[in-house]
Amino acid sequence: MLEILSLIRQDGDPEWCRSVPNWDRGPWLETLLGYRRARGNARPRIISSHLPVQMFPKAFFSSKAKVL
Protein backbone atom coordinates (compact mmCIF):
# COMPACT_ATOMS: atom_id res chain seq x y z
CA MET A 1 0.00 0.00 0.00
CA LEU A 2 2.86 2.38 0.80
CA GLU A 3 4.35 1.88 -2.66
CA ILE A 4 1.01 2.59 -4.35
CA LEU A 5 0.37 5.71 -2.27
CA SER A 6 3.93 6.93 -2.87
CA LEU A 7 3.48 6.57 -6.63
CA ILE A 8 0.14 8.41 -6.50
CA ARG A 9 1.72 11.22 -4.49
CA GLN A 10 4.52 11.59 -7.06
CA ASP A 11 2.22 11.38 -10.11
CA GLY A 12 3.53 7.93 -11.03
CA ASP A 13 7.24 8.83 -10.96
CA PRO A 14 9.04 5.82 -9.38
CA GLU A 15 12.31 7.70 -8.77
CA TRP A 16 11.14 9.02 -5.38
CA CYS A 17 10.14 5.50 -4.31
CA ARG A 18 13.56 4.19 -5.31
CA SER A 19 15.55 6.96 -3.65
CA VAL A 20 13.67 7.53 -0.36
CA PRO A 21 13.46 4.67 2.19
CA ASN A 22 9.96 3.54 3.14
CA TRP A 23 10.37 4.65 6.78
CA ASP A 24 10.86 8.23 5.50
CA ARG A 25 7.98 8.06 3.00
CA GLY A 26 5.46 6.59 5.46
CA PRO A 27 6.78 6.70 9.02
CA TRP A 28 5.01 4.76 11.77
CA LEU A 29 2.86 6.96 13.98
CA GLU A 30 3.29 4.76 17.08
CA THR A 31 7.04 5.39 17.42
CA LEU A 32 8.55 8.65 18.63
CA LEU A 33 10.99 8.78 15.72
CA GLY A 34 8.19 8.04 13.26
CA TYR A 35 5.98 10.72 14.79
CA ARG A 36 8.77 13.29 14.49
CA ARG A 37 9.48 12.29 10.89
CA ALA A 38 5.79 12.45 9.98
CA ARG A 39 5.48 15.97 11.39
CA GLY A 40 8.46 17.06 9.32
CA ASN A 41 7.28 15.53 6.03
CA ALA A 42 5.77 17.72 3.34
CA ARG A 43 2.02 17.64 2.89
CA PRO A 44 0.12 15.59 1.91
CA ARG A 45 1.72 13.20 4.37
CA ILE A 46 1.66 9.43 4.28
CA ILE A 47 1.64 7.94 7.78
CA SER A 48 1.67 4.23 8.61
CA SER A 49 0.23 2.67 11.75
CA HIS A 50 -0.83 -0.66 13.20
CA LEU A 51 -2.73 0.95 16.06
CA PRO A 52 -6.39 0.06 16.56
CA VAL A 53 -8.69 2.91 15.64
CA GLN A 54 -9.72 3.34 19.31
CA MET A 55 -6.19 4.52 20.14
CA PHE A 56 -6.10 7.35 17.60
CA PRO A 57 -6.37 10.90 18.97
CA LYS A 58 -9.89 12.35 19.00
CA ALA A 59 -8.74 15.21 16.76
CA PHE A 60 -8.06 12.66 14.03
CA PHE A 61 -11.75 11.99 13.54
CA SER A 62 -12.57 15.63 12.90
CA SER A 63 -9.67 16.10 10.46
CA LYS A 64 -9.55 15.67 6.68
CA ALA A 65 -7.28 12.61 6.97
CA LYS A 66 -8.00 9.59 4.81
CA VAL A 67 -7.66 6.04 6.14
CA LEU A 68 -6.84 3.05 3.99
**CB neighbours (10 Å) of residue 11?**
7
Catalytic residue among 18, 50, 58, 64: 50
Residue 54 annotated among the catalytic residues of the structure: no
First to last CA, the chain: 8
Tell me the catalytic residues. 50
